[in-house]
Structure 1
Amino acid sequence: MALHTIAAHVRQLSRPLSVLRAATTMSTNHVLLLGGSGKVARLLTPMLLHQSWDVTSIIYNPDQIADLKQLGVNQNGKLNVLVRSLEDIKNETDAKRLIDEIKPSYVVWSAGAGGKGAPERTEAIDRDAAIHCIRASIASPYITKFVMISFNGCRYEKPPWIDETHWQEYLKVTRNHYQRYYEAKLPADEVLYVEGKKRKDFAGICLRPGRLSMEPVGKVSLGKFPRVEGYTSRASLAYTAALLLDSHNKNCWLDILDGDEDPEAAVKRCIEEEVDCAEGEYFY
């Protein structure tokens, strides 16, 4: 089934099925999905499975196993659900042990405390465990892509393409309310970018949405655009992540909001133009 045909089906379904090329009889990719019980991960999982990719979904609550396994019913790929606590990943060795157990070809980080609970928990998961998993993934030659789900205001400096007044208003109204989350996420985003560039056959892709909504897959603004504030459909985010896993092989940050461009066209454009929203940061 052609990409645009699959996309039409995805837009009509409450649970998206696939956003990639036609399913094959054999699985060629294995995705380690960290934070598999989250809303974005639940949308992404069946998309990948329908494509005959295998998915190992990491969750921390054993009560969610049966529910998560329903995402793998009547799919082309295999779904494995493992119960692990990311808080237990205290160093790169712990992360490497988990990765070597699964041996994925790609990793998706869709986990996090999100600033909820004790500050130590956000730091332990969103910063420390994420960094350990990134470093361990880069050190594993069989892993060639790592997609980090972050947010578009997670940066040290104002993007050069954003108006100063708009940026200051965004900081005041939105980002300052998530200061703890921002301070934990940003070091992980930086490590993925800086360390990912050191391996020529590795793509560290940081996908950076705005405020998340439960709208169906729709058109997007992907890359550099003159606003930060805005909504991003979780389904569009998952859809775009799947497209990037399937096609993008460059280290980059990509901001994503609801917009006016088909996701397939947006991803193709960003690949061809080598768009990188890390521009303006000191390590760019």
Structure 2
Amino acid sequence: MSTTKVLLLGGHGKIALHLTPLLLAKSWNITSVVRNPDHESEITALGTNRSGNIDVLVNSLDDVTSVDRATQILDKVNPDIVVWAAGAGGKGGPSRTKAVDEVAAKHYISAAVARPSVKKFLMISYIASRRGRPAWWTDEDAAAAENVNTKILPAYFAAKVEADEHLAAAAQKRNERDGNQNQSQRFQAINLRPGSLTDEPSDGRVRLGKTGARGDVSRESVARVAAALLSRDDTGGWYDLLDGEEGIEEAVARCVSEEWDGIQGEDLDRIYARDV
């Protein structure tokens, strides 16, 4: 069997730094993309005593202004899996947020989905990135999400919800085109949507799937859930994530058995009709 190759975008982010050793421990090979060459040695050190290999690629997402730019990186790495753990992080104002979190993300999504060898794309988004109100939210959840999206992080919301919907639409079109009926053969568009992030150690217990819109989650837990979702061939869709009481593997298995997809409640006709 060939070794699984992962393209990890935003490789120096806090979640990515937790995720990298977890994927290397699976004997997967990672190409970690960073903007600052000073971070190369720190990331390379994550591969110490791991069964997988890690390479660092210095490339700025600010420069990904077309699908062709993203395709050039995919041509170089030839990954099986693409993970988007990147973000402008509030640096550079609304224009850079749009350039990275929306424009570059959508170009990478389009390039990855168009490439038959890429089987999975995992997007790290956030819990309130949606235009509709899911039936399981309380009034307090809806108010909290609206406050974040319209008053606290409006530029981030506008960028992330565009990227999230783009991924959902592109994956839907690919699977329709390929005629993939068997879940294990379908392109896996995994959208992991954590609540407020903390740097607390993970205790391995989470709430995954149907959650409220308020609450914290450890960055380490986000990475552990991402690794668990990527390890299976039957995951896909939107997964909201908070700290909780259920073991990570059990939570993932439950969501799969329930055929859970948190995109429920969104205008799917509009999303799937998007030009991707």
Same fold at TM > 0.5: yes
**Equivalent-residue separation in structure 2 for 1:120 and 1:173 (angstroms):** 19
Deviation at 1:100, TM superposition (A): 1.0
**Equivalent-residue separation in structure 1 for 2:254 and 2:174 (angstroms):** 24
Aligned CA distance change for structure 1 residues 166 and 50 (closer, same or farther; 3 Å)? closer
Partner of 1:223: 209
The answer (yes or no) to whether the contact 2:229–2:235 under 8 Å persists in 1 is no
Partner of 1:251: 236
The answer (yes or no) to whether the contact 2:9–2:32 under 8 Å persists in 1 is yes
Corresponding position: 1:260 with 2:245: yes
2:199 to 205, 214, 217: 214
Identity of aligned residues (%): 45
Aligned CA distance change for structure 1 residues 169 and 89 (closer, same or farther; 3 Å)? closer
Q: Mapping of 1:1-284 within 5 angstroms?
A: 28-172=3-147, 176-200=151-175, 201-218=186-203, 219-225=205-211, 227-283=212-268
Deviation at 1:240, TM superposition (A): 0.4
The answer (yes or no) to whether the contact 1:196–1:251 under 8 Å persists in 2 is no
Deviation at 1:171, TM superposition (A): 2.5
Question: SS state of the match for residue 113, structure 1?
Answer: coil
The answer (yes or no) to whether the contact 1:202–1:250 under 8 Å persists in 2 is no
**Equivalent-residue separation in structure 1 for 2:41 and 2:17 (angstroms):** 13
**Equivalent-residue separation in structure 1 for 2:158 and 2:55 (angstroms):** 32
Deviation digits for residues 35-82 of structure 1 (CA, Å, limit 9, x no counterpart):
000000000000111111101000000111111111011110000001
**Equivalent-residue separation in structure 2 for 1:157 and 1:41 (angstroms):** 29
Give the count of matched residue pairs.
258
The answer (yes or no) to whether the contact 1:193–1:251 under 8 Å persists in 2 is no
**Equivalent-residue separation in structure 2 for 1:183 and 1:139 (angstroms):** 24
Which AA in structure 1 matches 2:252? V
Which AA in structure 2 matches 1:123? K
**Equivalent-residue separation in structure 2 for 1:248 and 1:258 (angstroms):** 24
The 10-residue stretch of structure 1 (142-151 or 242-251) with the greater mean CA deviation from structure 2: 242-251
Deviation at 1:157, TM superposition (A): 1.0
Q: CA RMSD in A?
A: 1.5
TM-score, normalisation: structure 1 = 0.87
Which AA in structure 1 matches 2:244? G
Deviation at 1:179, TM superposition (A): 1.0
Question: SS state of the match for residue 255, structure 1?
Answer: strand
Which AA in structure 2 matches 1:43? H
Which AA in structure 1 matches 2:55? N
Deviation at 1:114, TM superposition (A): 2.9
Aligned CA distance change for structure 1 residues 175 and 240 (closer, same or farther; 3 Å)? farther
Which AA in structure 1 matches 2:238? W
Deviation at 1:283, TM superposition (A): 1.7
Aligned CA distance change for structure 1 residues 175 and 54 (closer, same or farther; 3 Å)? farther
Deviation at 1:249, TM superposition (A): 3.2
